[in-house]
Amino acid sequence: MKHQICVAALVGIMLGHSLFAGERSSEWIGKPAPELGKGAWINSPPLALRELRGHVVLLEFWTFGCENCLHTLSHVRGWYAKYPHSAFQIIGIHTPEFQYEKDVRAVTRETGRLGITYPVTTDNDYGTWNRYHQQYWPVMYLLDKHGIIRYVHVGEGDYDETQRQIASLLAED
């Protein structure tokens, strides 16, 4: 029951709402990424997207109670490990689905338990979520070195394509 909304959103995408999800995510392609909201930071001091110009940035909206989000983590951790000294930055945006996921101590504990060492910001007030018009978990946004959104993926899967996009953006000037 605790995964109901997360799973329901993904099932909705797979059962015919994919056009809507695609429209919502593709609205961002080619546009500047909205700045991150205010939240507690785990594994990092606070980061701002404007300060990460020159880096390819992967933003992942997730929450520790979402089974679908947990399935993506091995890939995201792998990308973080693959590019440790490059112009690549991952930021996890932990936006809670349920009240118990708002506890920063719980997010910190779960982040450690899940082996997440990249920066994570909490989005308990849904500030970042709303700036990106989010509706689903997980969602990944890939920003180029100028802060422009170049790729969006809703849900699980397409990890090889995401990897290709990361490599392609890193190769750009």
Map the chain to HEC letters: CCCHHHHHHHHHHHHHHHHHHHHHHHCCCCCECCCCCCCCEECCCCCCHHHHCCCEEEEEEECCCCHHHHHHHHHHHHHHHHCCCCCEEEEEEECCCCHHHHCHHHHHHHHHHCCCCCCEEECCCCHHHHHCCCCCCCEEEEECCCCEEEEEEECCCCHHHHHHHHHHHHHCC
**Domain 4-171's class?**
alpha beta
Tell whether the model's pLDDT for residue 20 goes beyond 80. no
Indicate the range of 83-92, 106-115, 136-145 predicted with least confidence. Answer: 83-92
What's the whole-model pTM score? Answer: 0.87
Q: Using one digit for the tens of pLDDT, what is the confidence trace for 48-99?
A: 999 999 999 999 999 999 999 999 999 999 999 999 888 999 999 999 999 9
Mean pLDDT of the chain: 89
